[in-house]
Structure 1
């Protein structure tokens, strides 16, 4: 019986798609092997600590009942994060392959649909006098800085003005 086209994922049968050996090779890089090993070590360790707390709780330590629940929750969280990262890696590269970015020409202006991160612009909210006159405090501070620059060995307390 052929698969139902409404719920069939043809992307899993394309070369390098999720579920194929080419797609799974991305999860066998040295970085991913370290992640797999870390996940197994953490889950086994957290479940072992949970069992240890169960035995302590059975011997009469009532505080250990909370820890007996907490450690398996930690193990579940590690599995959740690992699974989410695996799915993200497998789905992210498939989306990147299916829609390659169009090449940008040298003189083309960005289109209205181009999304990007823009740097914030600092706006001076203090009005600057139109005649170019400076604020009195600012002028005094600039004179002080000029004096400090002219007298490198002087202390700020030596300033005459």
Structure 2
């Protein structure tokens, strides 16, 4: 479960998040010092207050990604193994695997629009259909 957070990819991500968080701290201190120098302005003071917020957001994002990775690992466990433990070893009836329906990448087409419903939209749809047909002929 938590072993997935120790893969080389995640170790690199941990290092990246640590460097980013420390960098935001250094940048906040730098802007704070610039705001108190002779040439400093309220803009430097504003940046000095923004950089810690960026650091907090970095930590939030880091924790969020780790939680997503752990939950993704939990979903990868086979459903049959969990069911066998609940039923017991003496019952060997196999349950069908749980199949989740995947979402299509492209939404289903919208119902056609008649010229009586919306003439402008119907004309535009007709124009798009002509463009699609000319593309098919060209390729």
Interval of TM-score (by shorter of Structure 1 and Structure 2) = 0.5 to 0.7
Rounded to whole Å, the distance in 2 between the matches of 1:102 and 1:96 is 17
- Please report the TM-score for the alignment, with normalisation by the length of structure 1: 0.51
Moved over 4 A (4+): none
2:21 is matched with: 43
Shift, 1:37, TM fit: 1.2
Give the RMSD, CA atoms, in angstroms.
Answer: 3.1
2:97 is matched with: 103
1:32 is matched with: 10
The structure whose residues are more often helix, as a share, is: 2
1:94 is matched with: 74
Rounded to whole Å, the distance in 1 between the matches of 2:12 and 2:76 is 25
Aligned pair count? 100
Unaligned runs of 5+ in 2: 81-94, 116-125, 131-136
| Bigger relative contact order (CA 8 A; separation at least 6) | 2
- Contact 2:17 / 2:58 at 8 angstroms: preserved in 1? yes
- Please report the TM-score for the alignment, with normalisation by the length of structure 2: 0.58
1:52 is matched with: 30
- Report the secondary structure of 2:108's partner residue: coil
